Amino acid sequence: MGYEPTPDGEENLLIITGAGASHDVADPREINVHSDFMPPLTSYLFTGGGGQLIESVNKFLITNPIAAQVGKDWRRSKQPLEEYLSNLKNSKSLMLRKRYWAVPIYLHELFITISNTYINSDSSGLPSNYASLITAIAKNGNYGQIIWLNLNYDILADYAIKQATNNELRTFADYMNLETPDKIKIKYTKPHGSVDWFRPYKQGEISWGQIKQTKISDNFENALSTEIYTIQFARENSFMPIENHLYPAILAPLGKYDYVYRNHIESIISDLEKIQSLSLLCIGFSALDQDILDLIKNHVRFVKKLKIVNGSPEQGRKAHLNIVRYCERIQIDPERAVFNGGFTTFINEGIDEWLA
């Protein structure tokens, strides 16, 4: 799939969606949602909002005592979550490293339930602002090609993409070969992993229950395969229940990551380097992830149009400052770039104007 501008003037769009996008994926005044299962922002992963445990977070911390202990110790440390988890993963203490490996299990159980529960309808994860975003691009945009980096573990955006492209994302190749009925090509990936991606355990069966109690071998990390499977592949190859065969292909928030599925990123980098200019749309992305900032800085030649949707003007300006400081080639004034509101408000009041 080529990503050069086409002769009729169609342009390229890079979309980056972070935790704020899923947090504001549906307006409860318009869509029937289970409010207890609203996707949490990163800072609420172990605490819920406002210092109180929201129901979804509480439910899975109860069943994962090690993740609960990680959350308690993190709050005591007064460190940013990314810094704390990175120190945990790289600790000299085997006990602390083992605690880290319980966290992706917790994140998987939390976000797969959120993905299937938060929006209450006959079609999982729909309707949503993700679906409205794709609709608006098809209706009012001039983008023939989209590269979409989704930093969320949940599959709320996946549901919208599957519906729009009639593609079930059965294989990893499918993610790189999507197309809407309007012939908009999409390359889609999740650099930090997904609740429907898994890694095999090379030393027989695996017990999520034992991991949640840190009753795992000292060599656990080295016993995880570098191969990544989709849930569809797991089902077709009888890796069920997954809790006995596979470990979630998820990286807990660390600030700087090794990409979970590197082949996707290499394909996207190859395309980005061929594109002379593109538009950049950041939704719910605080621009704190160094791996994504490196991708923009090193492989995006020119950003002709930028929009940052990050909940509030203050948070939007912070994200804008992070981007322009890191990526010197992006020098678009914050008054033009920062949207005054969140995902829902942008879909209802801002996207058509920006696309035009």
- Tens digit of pLDDT for each residue in 202-218? 988 899 999 999 999 99
Residue 130 lies in a domain: yes
Are 227 and 87 part of one and the same domain? Answer: yes
Check whether 1 has a pLDDT greater than 50.
no
Domain CATH number, residue 167: 3.40.50.1220
State yes or no: pLDDT of 5 exceeds 70: no
Among 205, 158, 169, smallest CA distance to 17 is for 158
Residues 320-346 have a mean pLDDT of 94
- Answer with the one of 215, 250, 285 that is the final residue of a domain: 250
User: Is residue 285 in some structural domain?
Assistant: yes
Write out pLDDT tens, residues 221-237: 999 999 999 999 999 98
Q: Are residues 107 and 151 in the same domain?
A: no
Evaluate whether residue 5 is within a structural domain: no
pLDDT of residue 204: 85
Are 141 and 84 in a shared domain?
Answer: no
Handedness of CA 287, 271, 14, 186 (dihedral sign): negative
Judgement on whether residues 156 and 180 belong to the same structural domain of the protein = yes
pLDDT digit string (tens) for 43-100? 889 875 555 556 788 889 888 999 999 999 999 999 999 999 999 999 999 999 999 9
Q: How many structural domains comprise the chain?
A: 2
**Which tokens is 54 given?**
């929201």
Listed residue (307, 309, 289) closest to 42, CA to CA: 289
Residue 43: per-residue pLDDT: 86
User: Which residue among 207, 232, 250 closes a domain?
Assistant: 250
Instruction: Give yes or no: residues 40 and 101 share one domain.
Output: yes
Do 239 and 350 have their domain in common?
no
Q: Are residues 68 and 183 in the same domain?
A: no
pLDDT for 48 equals: 56
Residue 96, domain member (yes or no)? yes
> Which helix H or strand E contains 265, and what residues bound it?
helix 262-272
In a domain, 315, yes or no: yes
Q: What is the pLDDT of residues 251-302, one digit of tens each?
A: 999 877 789 999 999 999 999 999 999 999 999 999 999 999 999 999 999 9
End-to-end, the C-alpha distance of the chain in Å comes to: 26
Q: What tokens were used for 257?
A: 């990551």
- Give yes or no: residues 273 and 345 share one domain: yes
Tell me which of 284 and 330 has the higher pLDDT. 284
> Is 343:319 a contact under the CB 8 Å cutoff?
no
Contact 217, 101 (CB under 8 A): no
Cα–Cα distance measured from residue 317 to residue 349, given in angstroms and rounded to the nearest whole number: 19
Identify whether 3 is part of a domain. no
Between residues 237 and 192, the one the model is more confident about? 192
Q: Is the pLDDT of residue 248 over 90?
A: yes
Would you say residue 336 has pLDDT above 50? yes
- SS3 at position 100: helix
Residue 1 forms part of a structural domain: no
Residues 6+ apart with CB under 8 A from 208: 105, 243
Tokens of 66: 């090690």
Long-range contacts of 171-179 (CB under 8 A, 24+ apart): 171/230, 171/232, 171/233, 172/228, 172/230, 172/261, 172/263, 172/264, 175/264, 176/1, 176/264, 176/267, 177/1
Quick one: what percent of the chain has pLDDT higher than 90?
Answer: 84
Distances (CA, A) of 162 to 67, 132, 133, 168, 202: 32, 13, 14, 5, 31
Q: What's the CA gap between 279 and 50, in Å, rounded?
A: 35
Q: Last residue of a domain, which of 213, 229, 250?
A: 250
Q: Are residues 174 and 270 in the same domain?
A: yes
Please determine, for residue 117, whether its predicted confidence score (pLDDT) is greater than 80: yes
Number of H helices, E strands in the chain: 16, 9
Give the residue among 51, 57, 68 at the shortest CA–CA distance from 23: 57
Residues 109 and 216 in one domain: yes
Residues 27 and 83 in one domain: no
Candidate from 196-200, 241-245, 266-270, 334-338 with smallest mean pLDDT: 241-245
- Across the range 28-48, mean pLDDT stands at 89
Residue entry with tokens 């082949």: 263
Contact 338, 317 (CB under 8 A): yes
Does residue 202 form part of some domain?
yes
Domain extent at residue 235: 35-118+194-250
Q: Which residues contact 303 (CB under 8 A, 6 or more apart)?
A: 277, 278, 279, 280, 329, 330, 332
Query: What is residue 49's predicted lDDT score, i.e. its pLDDT?
Result: 55
Residues 272 and 348 in one domain: yes
Is the pLDDT confidence value at 3 over 50?
no
